[in-house]
Structure 1
């Protein structure tokens, strides 16, 4: 079952959208023209990532400055678990999460 999050036409470079699906806080972000869906929490201490700064494809958590490469989810500058990316699903002009 697809849970639609956004219309494809809205997904421009730099887009950020937050969503709650089945009690999980999610962040949909567009980097290098690619939509990426992940948990909206830093794996270090749970700070919301939507408030982080974006430099190219690197997202930096606002709380402790841990940076993550959004293409592969790995941390760039500190020991930390990688980001939990989620697979995206498409249905017509919508993008979402397949449950």
Structure 2
């Protein structure tokens, strides 16, 4: 098992108790091949309006509403706002295996 897979298993074990009533999606587990994050909800057919902002390794949903994204290890560069506080792009849509989910309150990554 790879280092990242072992790390994701540990995170999943740690969060599966407190979040037992929510849906937890883990990349490369249970048929989930990708969790991709976008910054716009207005996706028009044939029009690339949404900007891809990254991927997530674990996504926790409350019913059909995503509310927590976990990226175990990343090479993404954060934007800096208000000094040294790293701030990632806002996520407004999540796609899990290409199925889109709108995010009612944007996720800050």
| TM more than 0.5 | no
Structure with bigger strand share is 1
Structure with bigger helix share is 2
Which has the higher relative contact order, 1 or 2, with Cα contacts under 8 A spaced 6 or more apart?
Answer: 1
